[in-house]
């Protein structure tokens, strides 16, 4: 390992040289308080900035082990340090030449607290992974500026963001305890047979569809209806009361604009932990909850959708249903069946994004279009079987039709953003105004058929690049020559998740898609590897921009790959 003075001298030496000469600075440098490791050097000032790490020994970082003693605390501390590093780096980062010259950045985080590889804590100390735009004017190295960035700015960032004495102790404590509490709440759902919990006082609405921070001014805090109120225990925060949604079928209804979708969206996000001050810290959901929606236009590869769709025109198979261009109802059926294939235990459906003909079929329509001319078995006739036969609960937002009153275990009305339980009224109304509907669901839910992807149909290569995957923002992956559109996969909440999903697809294809393993088996193995060995199994050099994702979202990416072909 070289001394930091040598890096200093080298960078000044490089001043005025051609950009490629930067390649020579790869390596490790001992600074007084840490080691700087330059892993990958960019080829030009416009290319993806260079990847670097700092490793700060525990003796210098000085975090007490109680701050990272449990898995959820460790994730929280790493999250906190990433945010801290990011905000200090922003003050140092400036435009110092051409392209990305002067940039110093770490993964940028939103409201969710996820395990990620931007900051790691191991037996030796704390490691932060970030990128640096090595500075140049045109293609001429700006050696003096590079020296300032690496030998002055980075030590300052380390000093101000990765050492306990420089940080706000109360804030850190709050953050790690808060995340540990959220995790504990989520874990306590199972024993209480709940699928979701929304704490009293939670702030559910967001500033906008594009801004995930809490709505500031006129947000009305959540208040549970007495009949659904439960009290859960948190390791740090003590008891907390809120609305517990039990297993089974839950209907959320109410007038337009009264907060139904906002509640459901918060429930969907409850599979993740949220940063302190988000308003959803104590909104937690069964981790295997999947938001379902119609997604016309998506491709489908051999999914068995017979529980919902049968007898298509032209005798098309629905046991192995494939299409380049799904309709609203077939896409929703496939989204459900694929979620079940991947192991979902709770489904969330919002009328705003559901196909109407998939959701309901009333008596009049049953009279005019007989069952043998309607391929769709509506969700209303399957939702109870789904619970009874497969143990899968559903939470459904439905303001426009009362047909679900019969099949719901409980009914929650949203009024002025507040829930009220109206199960008894709804059941009474169902008795008073019978719909006369005929049940079309048959005897049982039907089969979930795991598919085996054909490895040759999953090809990330592109021309002379053996592998080419790239995530754009958080809704699109370039996989070889194809684009995978994930805009409708609502539980991908972070660009780091998408990058990790893209890399995991390549990894899973290389290691586990052998033409024999089923999709659930492939998901199990790939995710177990990442859990055991860390995100570094996904990349050929240490990088810091991956975030934890769930098996459902990895499956969703594979399922939306247009070239995918399967056997059974």
Enumerate binding residues for ligand ADP (CB under 6 A).
Answer: 204-205, 215, 218-220, 254, 256-262, 414, 417
Q: Residue 412 or residue 471: which is nearer to ligand ADP going by CB? A: 412
Q: Which is nearer to ligand ADP, 207 or 363 (CB)?
A: 207
Helix (H, G, I), strand (E, B) or coil at 246: strand
Which one, 217 or 540, has the nearer CB to ligand ADP?
217
Tell me which of Mg ion, ligand ADP, none is bound by residue 353, counting a contact when its beta carbon lies within the kind-specific cut-off of 5 to 8 angstroms. Answer: none
**H-helix or E-strand containing 85?**
helix 71-92
Contacting Mg ion within 221-280 (CB under 5 A): 260-261
451 DSSP assignment: -
**Encoding tokens for residue 511?**
């290691």
The answer to whether 101 and 44 have CB atoms below 8 angstroms apart is: no
Least distance from Mg ion to the Cβ atom of residue 263, Å: 9
> Taking the chain, what is the end-to-end CA distance rounded to the nearest angstrom?
54
CA-wise closest residue to 564 among 300, 297, 330: 300
In whole angstroms, how close is the CB of 386 to ligand ADP at the nearest point? 23
276 in Cβ contact with 203 (< 8 Å): no
What's the min distance (Å) between Cβ of 397 and Mg ion?
A: 6
Residue whose C-alpha is closest to residue 272's, from 549, 556, 568, 567 = 549
Nearer to ligand ADP, 414 or 469 (CB): 414
Q: How far is the CB of 204 from ligand ADP (least distance, A)?
A: 5
Helices (H), 402-537: 423-432, 495-512, 519-533
**How many residues at the interface with Mg ion, by CB under 5 A?**
3
With binding defined as CB under 5 A, does residue 82 bind Mg ion?
no
Contact partner at residue 249 from ligand ADP, Mg ion, none, CB < 5 to 8 Å by partner kind: none
Measured distance CA(346)–CA(344) in Å, rounded? 6
Q: According to the binding rule CB under 5 A, does residue 352 interact with Mg ion?
A: yes
Minimum gap (Å) between residue 357 Cβ and ligand ADP: 21
434 binds, among Mg ion, ligand ADP, none (CB under 5 to 8 A by kind): none
133, interface contact from Mg ion, ligand ADP, none, CB < 5-8 Å by kind: none
Nearest residue to Mg ion by CB is: 261
What lies within 8 Å, CB to CB, of 165 at 6+ separation is 62
Choose from ligand ADP, Mg ion, none: what does 514 bind? Cβ within 5-8 Å by kind: none
- Tokens 């709050």 identify what position? 174
User: CA geometry: angle at 86 spanning 81 and 88, to 5°?
Assistant: 95
Choose from ligand ADP, Mg ion, none: what does 32 bind? Cβ within 5-8 Å by kind: none
Q: Residue 262 binds what, of Mg ion, ligand ADP, none (CB under 5 to 8 Å, by partner type)? A: ligand ADP
Residue 103 vs 265, nearer CB to ligand ADP? 265
User: By C-beta, is 161 or 262 nearer to ligand ADP?
Assistant: 262
Residue 261 or 449: the one with the smaller Cβ distance to ligand ADP is 261
Q: How far is the CB of 387 from Mg ion (least distance, A)?
A: 24
Task: Report CA torsion sign: 311, 316, 322, 328.
Answer: negative
**Residue 275 or residue 354: which is nearer to Mg ion going by CB?**
354
Q: What angle do CA 283, 293, 552 make, to 5 degrees?
A: 65
For the residues of 286-334, what is the DSSP string, one character each?
-TTEEEE---TT--EEEE--TTTB---GGG--STTEEESS--HHHHHHH
CB of 215 to ligand ADP, least distance (A): 6
Residue with Cβ nearer ligand ADP (184 or 414): 414
d(CA 36, CA 156): 13
Distance in angstroms (rounded) separating the CA atoms of residues 472 and 303: 27
| Cross-strand pairs, 169 | none
Cβ 282 to ligand ADP shortest distance, Å: 15
Cβ 259 to Mg ion, closest distance in Å? 8
Q: How far is the CB of 24 from ligand ADP (least distance, A)?
A: 54
- DSSP state, residue 151: I
Output DSSP code: residue 198: E
Binding flag, residue 359, Mg ion (CB under 5 A): no
Binding site for Mg ion (CB under 5 A): 260-261, 352
């Amino acid at each position: 390992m070289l001394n930091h003075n040598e890096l200093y001298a080298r960078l000044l030496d490089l001043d005025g040289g051609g950009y490629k000469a930067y390649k020579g600075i790869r390596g490790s440098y001992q600074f007084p308080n840490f080691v700087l490791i330059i892993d990958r050097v960019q080829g030009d000032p416009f290319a993806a900035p260079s990847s670097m790490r700092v490793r700060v020994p525990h003796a210098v970082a000085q975090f007490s082990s109680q701050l990272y003693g449990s898995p959820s605390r460790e994730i929280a501390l790493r999250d906190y340090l990433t945010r801290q590093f990011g905000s200090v780096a922003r003050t140092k980062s400036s435009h110092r030449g051409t392209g990305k010259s002067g940039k110093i950045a770490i993964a940028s985080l939103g409201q969710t607290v996820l395990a990620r590889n931007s900051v790691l804590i191991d037996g030796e100390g704390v490691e932060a992974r970030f990128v640096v735009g090595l500075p140049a004017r045109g293609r001429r190295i700006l050696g003096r500026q590079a020296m300032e960035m690496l030998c002055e700015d980075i030590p300052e960032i380390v000093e101000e963001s990765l050492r306990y004495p420089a940080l706000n102790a109360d804030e850190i404590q709050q953050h790690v305890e808060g995340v540990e509490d959220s995790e504990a709440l989520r874990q306590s759902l199972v024993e209480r047979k709940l699928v979701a919990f929304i704490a009293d006082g939670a702030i559910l609405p967001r500033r906008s569809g594009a801004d995930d921070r809490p709505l500031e001014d006129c947000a009305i805090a959540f208040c549970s209806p007495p009949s659904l109120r439960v009290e859960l225990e948190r390791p740090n925060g003590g008891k907390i009361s809120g609305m517990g949604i039990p297993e089974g079928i839950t209907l959320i209804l109410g007038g337009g604009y009264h907060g139904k979708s906002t509640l459901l969206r918060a429930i969907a996000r409850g599979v993740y932990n949220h940063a302190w001050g988000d308003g959803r810290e104590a909104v937690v959901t069964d981790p295997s909850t999947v938001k379902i929606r119609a997604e016309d236009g998506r491709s489908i590869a051999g999914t068995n959708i017979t529980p919902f769709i049968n007898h298509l025109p032209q005798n098309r198979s629905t046991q192995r249903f494939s299409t380049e261009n799904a309709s609203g109802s077939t896409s929703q059926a496939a989204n459900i069946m694929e979620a079940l294939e991947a192991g979902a235990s709770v489904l969330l459906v919002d009328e705003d994004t559901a196909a109407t003909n998939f959701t309901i079929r009333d008596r009049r329509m049953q009279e005019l279009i007989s069952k043998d001319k309607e391929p769709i078995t509506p969700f209303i006739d399957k939702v109870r079987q789904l619970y009874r036969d497969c143990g899968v609960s559903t939470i459904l937002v439905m303001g426009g039709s009362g047909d679900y009153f019969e099949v719901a275990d409980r009914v929650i009305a949203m009024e002025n953003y507040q829930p009220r339980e109206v199960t008894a009224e709804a059941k009474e109304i169902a008795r008073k105004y019978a719909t006369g509907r005929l049940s079309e669901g048959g005897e049982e839910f039907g089969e979930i058929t795991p598919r085996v992807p054909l490895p040759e149909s999953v090809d990330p290569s592109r021309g002379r690049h053996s592998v080419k995957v790239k995530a754009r923002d958080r809704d699109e992956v370039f996989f070889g020559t194809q684009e995978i559109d994930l805009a409708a996969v609502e539980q991908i909440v972070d660009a780091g998740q998408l990058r990790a999903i893209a890399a995991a697809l390549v990894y899973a294809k290389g290691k586990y898609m052998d033409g024999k393993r089923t999709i659930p088996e492939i998901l199990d193995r790939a995710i177990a590897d990442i859990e055991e060995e860390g995100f570094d199994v996904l990349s050929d050099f240490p990088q810091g921009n991956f975030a934890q994702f769930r098996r459902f979202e990895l499956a969703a990416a594979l399922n939306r790959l247009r070239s995918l072909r399967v056997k059974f």
